[in-house]
Amino acid sequence: MTQRMPKLLGMASIASLATLIAALPAFAQDAAAPAAAATPAPTLDAGNTAWMLTSTALVLMMTIPGLALFYGGMVRKKNVLATVMQSFAITCLVTLIWFIIGYSLAFSDGGSSNAFIGGFSKFFHAGITNDTLWAPGVANIPEWVFSMFQMTFAIITPALIAGAFAERMKFSALLIFIGLWSIFVYSPIAHWVWGGGFLGGLGVLDFAGGTVVHINAGVAGLVCALVMGKRKGFGTANMAPHNLVLSVIGASLLWVGWFGFNAGSELAADGLAGAAMMNTQVATAAAGLAWMFAEWIVVKKPSVLGIISGAVAGLVAVTPASGFVNPTGAFVIGIVAGVVCYWGAAHLKKMLGYDDSLDAFGVHGIGGIVGALLTGVFADPAINSLGENHSIVTQLEGVVVTIVWTAVITWVILMITKLLVGLRPSESEEEEGLDISQHGESVAE
Partner 1 sequence: MKLVVAIIKPSRLEEVRQALNSLDVHGMTVTEVKGYGRQKGHSEIYRGTEYAVHFLPKLKVEIAVDDAQAEPVTAAIRDSAQTGRIGDGKIFVFDLEHVTRIRTGETGTAAL
> Of these, 179, 196, 221, 241, which contacts partner 1 (CB under 8 A)?
241
Nearer to partner 1, 308 or 401 (CB): 308
**SS (HEC) of 30-44:** CCCCHHHHCCCCCCC
**What number of residues does the chain have?**
445
| 305 belongs to the binding site for partner 1 (CB under 8 A) | yes
Total number of residues binding partner 1 (CB under 8 A)? Answer: 18
| 240 belongs to the binding site for partner 1 (CB under 8 A) | yes
Q: Are 241 and 69 in contact (CB under 8 A)?
A: no
> Of these, 347, 385, 404, 439, which contacts partner 1 (CB under 8 A)?
347
- Cβ neighbors of 52 (< 8 A, separation 6 or more) are 139, 141, 145, 146, 149, 264, 267
The residue range among 120-128, 179-187, 239-247, 387-395 that interacts with partner 1, by the rule CB under 8 A, is 239-247
- Omega prior to 65 cis, within 30 of 0: yes
- Tell me how far, at minimum, the Cβ of 240 lies from partner 1, in Å: 5
**Amino acid identity of 402?**
T
Nearer to partner 1, 44 or 239 (CB): 239
- Tell me how far, at minimum, the Cβ of 163 lies from partner 1, in Å: 12
| 266 belongs to the binding site for partner 1 (CB under 8 A) | no
| 309 belongs to the binding site for partner 1 (CB under 8 A) | yes
- Tell me how far, at minimum, the Cβ of 341 lies from partner 1, in Å: 10
Cα(6)–Cα(48) distance, integer angstroms:
19
Rounded to a whole number, what is the distance in angstroms from the first to the last CA of the chain? 45
> Of these, 8, 93, 175, 239, which contacts partner 1 (CB under 8 A)?
239
Please state the φ and ψ torsions of residue 239, each to the nearest 5 degrees: -115, 30
The residue range among 94-102, 202-210, 219-227, 340-348 that interacts with partner 1, by the rule CB under 8 A, is 340-348
Nearer to partner 1, 179 or 306 (CB): 306
- Omega prior to 6 cis, within 30 of 0: no
Nearer to partner 1, 347 or 439 (CB): 347
Give me the torsion for CA of 341, 345, 351, 353, rounded to 10°: 140
Q: Are 325 and 379 in contact (CB under 8 A)?
A: yes
How many other C-beta atoms can be found within 10 angstroms of the C-beta atom of residue 353? 10
| 79 belongs to the binding site for partner 1 (CB under 8 A) | no
> Of these, 321, 332, 345, 423, which contacts partner 1 (CB under 8 A)?
345
Q: Is 133 helix (H, G, I), strand (E, B) or coil?
A: strand
| 168 belongs to the binding site for partner 1 (CB under 8 A) | no
Which residues here bind partner 1, judged by CB under 8 A? 238-241, 299, 301, 303, 305-306, 309, 342, 345-347, 349-350, 359, 362
